[in-house]
Structure 1
């Protein structure tokens, strides 16, 4: 009913401004009628708090249309250098047509100093529009998850909140700024090789077939060193010397490490055979099967690692796929960081080595998280079936780390021609097409049954982690782009959270997805905000918390922190 009423208003508006250009233009009564119409239109928008402004660079036609359909009017900023700025009301009225520059300038002049009730601004403009009523930006007062460096801290925070034996579906990552960070990361790098070697043998099923009594085979000692290393770490955790999930590479010396590294390469990458008899093979197989259950329990974060120990290095502040390196060599990672002429800070992330592929080609999903803050609640929302499937242009393999095979970024893939015939030249599918593909391989409900519920849980954890890091200012919201990859057993992993996701139309797929996204976003931030019973389209709540509870929790946390600080100060004073 409301949409019909607004449609009739827009139709009447079009009729009035069109008739104003008839032979009666000089008629004072006609001129006054048109002016009265615009004044009434402006007054109605002021009374109903339905004035909007879009200051982002890219004109969001769909957003503007959705707001106009709800009876909003646009308060366009008219530059003093513009010819329309200096025109009189009568001149603007004579030239006004529905939606043209004359009408925009006329409405802005009639609005005078009335501020917009809804403002859509570009990234980085929060403080410029801090006094706006409703704004599409939130302010991070703490660690910002949308930076590659910030997400490292949030992953630590989330894992700490979840407790022992549980992990968030985000690959391990480290901030690398100096040699101390490199040393910390190297422990994980080395440990991942040990776990990768043992996991490779365990997952083959028949471990014994990887043994041979022929000469020039892989040295057995490398496997035994790896087993001893894990056993020592297990004992250290059980004795309380290491925390659950903690790693320590001090259990082997330089020589042993070189042997393990050589064995890993010869066995996992070159598919060699271990030199040993059947008796030795049976003994090793028994040991590996025994410790594998401890690895899964004490180091659950390794379950998605694969065997090749591949990592992806990203500049902390870069985007559009710039400066990314994928490698399984620690020396190359260290060289890139130390020799970077720009002295950038980096993030290194464990690469998901066994992704689910489409026609043997890697892809990931661009999904969305919407954070909304009103007077009473902080909420995280996500649209259930809106997103893009970003596809690489070449078949996936770990034998080559070229961008065309591994980097799904749209800007990167535009450089390449699609080499997999069933896939589109635009390197993009809709989610519906992906669902059809799942059905064609006998998994018709895998997304709704496993993938989407897991994504919702991860986004819930992210929303909780961000809760204490943002300014809880009412009528603030922000849309974030979320990149997700699906591994070989249909487990989704969050790769990045991006601020200011592009809502431009790159392909026919993005036209449909983005238009639907904007339409449903307006249902959440406008309709649902004004009427909690209003439908929200495909958007679902993944997390909700009362603002008062958040504030109280923060106060308790601050008191405890100050108390702990005082206790530590007393201890230091006493000990001195």
Structure 2
């Protein structure tokens, strides 16, 4: 007899002298009535063990409550029935049906909305989460399993372990499995160089966007951005920084109510009115180069300022802009200096559209390549300090981006817009835009003289660390607005039409342009999809400016606003990914198809390949060879003119000696 406490009565085998034929006939009929796979599972399961000492089979049978496992008429009930055969059959049937219908899914991470939406559609979850229930035997899981509890989920998940998942929600770096089944997978692979979810990849897509620009459909609008990796990158940024300083001085002068107040016969900056001429000349030459107006011969004749001249200019212009000093000049010098400022700025705005949001303080924002949640971001105005900051943190790679000094403000407070979009790969590359979004506010009023992150970084991970400052009472305490609240605000300033007519369409154009620029590096795997969160800011002209795009956006209900939008977005995602392919008329929720790029798989190089064969009658090869008995020497002529090789004759099996062979 077995000493196990977890099992019930010890059942004798047929070979045992105490075996009961009627008992075993009854037992065999119960097992045979089950599916063919049950006998295998019983032998391998912990709940069906063999006592090697007494050679008796130990089993424990549970009578399940759902479905009920009462004995059939004329069938003798087991005593101490504790193994849930009927419940096992019930779950196994569901597993087999889910496999045939391809309704098995796996989710890594906390996405209850996706899980609930799939379960409502009859899918079964193949859990990848390790917990204490995974260590229990199948017998115990079935014993305590009831409708919807954790034991039932663990038991079903264990049965699903041998089947592939047909919907996979995974983390970014999770190894991919079951690719042969082409499951719905929430990851789209692309090369790192054109991965717009990284800051470097987004910059590459923006640089290539001119090849995919379609007026009114695909156009990107972003701040000036530079890499800070190589010496060439730093040199290019330095050149742009210097030109931006020239534009800053001209913008500052042009926006004064009375520019003549910047000049004085006894000015505090002696004889530096030439700084204006210097700035005008540098901008005019840069515009000419941009428009290809210079011939090669003229380019070599250009006078390139020295580093010393640039340092003097930057110092003098900063004194005028930031320290309220004045130029010392006569009236004639003053008029001559101001005459070219407005004209030069007008030409510059045509060449550099971002000039409308640049301001005149020359502020730049430094960001690490592959970090999120505002990690490692700093705002600076001095070129030397920017380079020193990057070199100090040499373990990271950085980009530097022109800071938007003139964003659209709401009640004197900075905000950005979090917008979601979805890419699905079916018979085409489909770009879906979510028609709902929300605004994120800073906890402090906007001020360019205060470069702290609490003022300028609207990321919720940053703002949650700070208490709200003295702001307008109309601003939300949670620092978030819904789209409806934003539209109500636009209506209050007589701009109610601007969202549908300008902001939302131009946000679509930015997303389409970036996605099209990344297509050459995309891995076109059928049934893959991915949800993205992108951040936009608005200029004072209500033009959306693309800041960044994030993979795996935070969909947690951190505030009352996200608690309403994020769950609904995930539920609508399931409608697009699961429902739409099988039913073209299925609703897609708030997701709107904004662009579609058809694609086809590469044709096979062996199209029309046919393999034809002819049956061959099998013969006794040994008899066929022995009947010929041709033991002549075998001569092999090597193709590279080596000496002929004579093989030894075969050994006679009967006599065990070599036959004599006449030399040829």
Normalised to the residue count of structure 1, the TM-score between the two structures is 0.82
1:54 corresponds to 2:97: no
Q: Where do residues 204-223 of structure 1 align in structure 2 (5 Å cutoff)?
A: 204=256, 207-208=259-260, 210-216=262-268, 219-223=272-276
Q: Secondary structure at the match of 1:384?
A: strand
Change (3 A) 1:377 1:204: farther
Match of 2:146 in 1: 97
Give distance in 2, aligned partners of 1:319 and 1:250: 43
Equivalent in the alignment of 2:518: 466
Count, aligned residues: 521
**2:168 alignment partner, one of 119, 133, 139:** 119
Would you say 1:267 and 2:285 are equivalent positions? Answer: no
8 Å Cα contact 2:64/2:86 also seen in 1 = no
- 1:186 deviates by 0.4
| Alpha-carbon contact 1:167-1:301 (below 8 Å) kept | no
> In 1, distance between residues paired with 2:302 and 2:239?
6
Cα distance in structure 2, aligned partners of 1:466 and 1:207? 47
Q: 1:106 to 1:127 in 2, by over 3 A?
A: closer
Of stretches 269-278 and 225-234 in structure 1, the one that deviates more from structure 2 is: 269-278
Q: Distance in 2 between matches of 1:190 and 1:382?
A: 39
Shift of 1:213: 4.3
Equivalent residues of 1:187, 1:249 under 8 A apart: no
Q: Structure 1 78/499 Cα, relative in aligned 2: closer, same or farther at 3 Å?
A: closer
Structure 1: give runs of 5+ residues left out of the alignment: 1-18, 553-576
Separation (CA, whole Å) in 2 of partners of 1:306 and 1:187: 18
| Aligned residue number for residue 560 of structure 1 | none
> Once structures 1 and 2 are overlaid, which stretch shifts more, 468-477 or 290-299?
290-299
Encode CA deviations 1:225-277: one digit per residue, 9 max, x unaligned: 1112222334445565489xx9x997433454234323432333344444445
Deviation at residue 68 of structure 1 after TM alignment: 1.6
Indicate the structure (1 or 2) with the bigger Cα radius of gyration: 2
Distance apart, 1:191 and its partner CA: 0.7
User: What is the aligned partner in structure 1 of residue 6 from structure 2?
Assistant: none
Aligned to 2:310: 257
Contact 1:463 1:543 survives alignment (8 Å): no
Q: 2:452 aligns with which of 402, 411, 423?
A: 402
**Map of 2:501 onto structure 1:** 449
Q: 1:225/1:439 Cα in 2 relative to 1: closer, same or farther (>3 Å)?
A: same
Farther off after superposition, 181-190 or 355-364: 355-364
- 8 A contact 1:225–1:252 mirrored in 2: no
User: 1: distance between equivalents of 2:494 and 2:552?
Assistant: 36
Equivalent positions of 1:319-334 (< 5 A) are 319-334=372-387
Tell me if the contact between 2:420 and 2:533 (Cα under 8 Å) persists in the aligned partners: yes
1:149 aligns with 2:200: yes
Cα gap change, 1:125 to 1:201, in 2 (>3 Å): same
> Among residues 441, 460, 468, which one is paired with 1:418 in the alignment?
468
Corresponding position of 2:363: 310
Alignment of 1:490-509 (within 5 A): 490-509=542-561
- Match for residue 547 of structure 1? 599
Matched, 1:364 2:416: yes
Is 2:441 the partner of 1:391? Answer: yes
* Alpha-carbon offset, residue 207 of structure 1: 4.4
Question: Tell me, what secondary structure is at the counterpart of 1:361?
Answer: coil
Q: Distance in 1 between matches of 2:120 and 2:295?
A: 61
Q: Give 1:85 shift.
A: 5.2
Residues 506-539 of structure 1 deviation map (CA, whole Å, 9 limit, x = unaligned)? 1121111111110111111111222233221111
Q: Which has the higher helix share?
A: 1
Q: Which residue is equivalent to 1:382?
A: 433
**Alignment of structure 1 residues 519-538 onto 2, 5 Å:** 519-538=571-590
Runs of 5+ in structure 2 lacking a partner? 1-62, 73-80, 604-664
Higher relative contact order (CA 8 A, sep 6+): 1
Match of 2:70 in 1: 27
Superposed CA offset, 1:531-567 (max 9, x none): 233221111223211113x979xxxxxxxxxxxxxxx
For residues 413 and 302 of structure 2, what CA distance do their matches in structure 1 show?
35
What is the CA deviation profile of residues 290-330 of structure 1, one whole-angstrom value per residue up to 9, with x for unaligned ones? Answer: 22232123333434322111100012222222211101111
The answer to whether residue 346 in structure 2 is matched with residue 293 in structure 1 is yes
Shift of 1:76: 2.0
Note closer, same or farther for the CA distance 1:177–1:40 as it changes in structure 2 (3 Å cut). same
2:411 & 2:169 partners in 1: Cα distance? 40
1: CA distance between counterparts of 2:273 and 2:391? Answer: 36
Aligned to 2:187: 137
The normalised TM-score by structure 2 is: 0.72
Cα deviation, 1:444-498, whole Å, max 9, x if unaligned, reads: 2222221111110000011101211110000011111211111222111111111
Matches of residues 276-287 of structure 1 in structure 2 within 5 Å? 276=329, 279-287=332-340
Range with greater deviation from structure 2 (353-362 or 467-476): 353-362
Three-state SS of the structure 1 residue aligned to 2:357 is coil
The separation in 2 between residues aligned to 1:492 and 1:270, in whole angstroms, is 33
Q: Which residue of 2 aligns with 1:574?
A: none
Alignment check: 8 A CA contact 2:219 2:509 kept: no
Pick closer, same or farther for the CA change 1:202–1:345 going to 2, 3 Å: same
User: Post-superposition shift, 1:185?
Assistant: 0.7
RMSD over aligned CA atoms reads 3.2
Q: CA deviation at 1:172?
A: 1.6
